[in-house]
Amino acid sequence: MKKIYITLLVAFICTNLHAAGDATKPLKVDWSFNGFFGTFDRAQLQRGFQVYKEVCASCHSMKHLSYRNLGEKGGPEFSDAEVKAIAAGYQVKDGPNEDGEMFDRSGLPKDKFKSPYPNEKAARAVNGGAYPPDMSVLVKARAGGPDYIYSILMGYDESPPADLKIEEGVYYNKFMAGKKIRMPKPLNDGSVEYSDGTKATVSQMSQDVTAFMTWAAEPHLEKRKRIGFKTILYLLIFSILVFFSMKKIWSRVESKV
């Protein structure tokens, strides 16, 4: 009985180890990558990249990713030609050349994603003192993960309660801690025109870009879950074998009692 009580207490503790704060709980989405056998939807990741590229990348860097990641297994899996073309669409700094000067050249797959600003101070200067966070691991950097990111993107349409003062340059979003966010509403219906013909509603784009950001934060997610399944299956089988070995060995002792 005591054991059950302790176990429940421990479980209760573990699930509540973060002070709640005043933000509304995030909306729940049934992501394709959830669960023990979750995988990414390639088409969704490609659409999500398009949203990132056309909307978010003007303010948010993703500096830990390289263009070649877009073609690697487990992600959007763009073709080699597509990856080359995406990279070549950006001008990146290189050098010094033989004259000792830095120069611009077309992007290559090995280059890291180009950042909109050269450094954090420049980003703050242009955005009224606020820093649009780098998105490489943003999904892991927020409690609630993908659900939270999706909720923020969807959370702009409610009007603030009468007693809450919203200053200039700040917007009401109930999913944000403190209910205020410095980013203006980034997505509207039709902000992006999807090449695969999918209807670009705010909800669709929010889901797609969140899925893309989740892949960006966890590019090996599919492999991790696959290997995890094999590992735990192996350990279960091995535990049964060890159990019977153990019983066999200990039978020599128990028979003496």
Task: List interacting residues with another protein (CB under 8 A).
Answer: 2-3, 6, 9-10, 13-14, 16-19, 21, 36, 64-66, 68-69, 72, 108-110, 133-134, 136-138, 140-143, 145, 177, 217, 219-220, 224-225, 227-229, 231-232, 234-239, 241-246, 248-250, 252-253, 256-257
Nearer to another protein, 131 or 172 (CB): 131
Helices (H) and strands (E) in the chain, counts: 7, 4
- Give the integer Cα–Cα distance in Å for 38 and 204: 19
Nearer to another protein, 16 or 159 (CB): 16
Least gap, CB of 69 to another protein (angstroms): 7
Nearer to another protein, 192 or 222 (CB): 222
Nearer to another protein, 74 or 204 (CB): 74
Least gap, CB of 68 to another protein (angstroms): 5
- Give the integer Cα–Cα distance in Å for 133 and 200: 25
Q: Give me the phi and psi of 106, to 5 degrees please.
A: -65, 145
Least gap, CB of 201 to another protein (angstroms): 28
Residue entry with tokens 């994603």 = 113
Least gap, CB of 240 to another protein (angstroms): 9
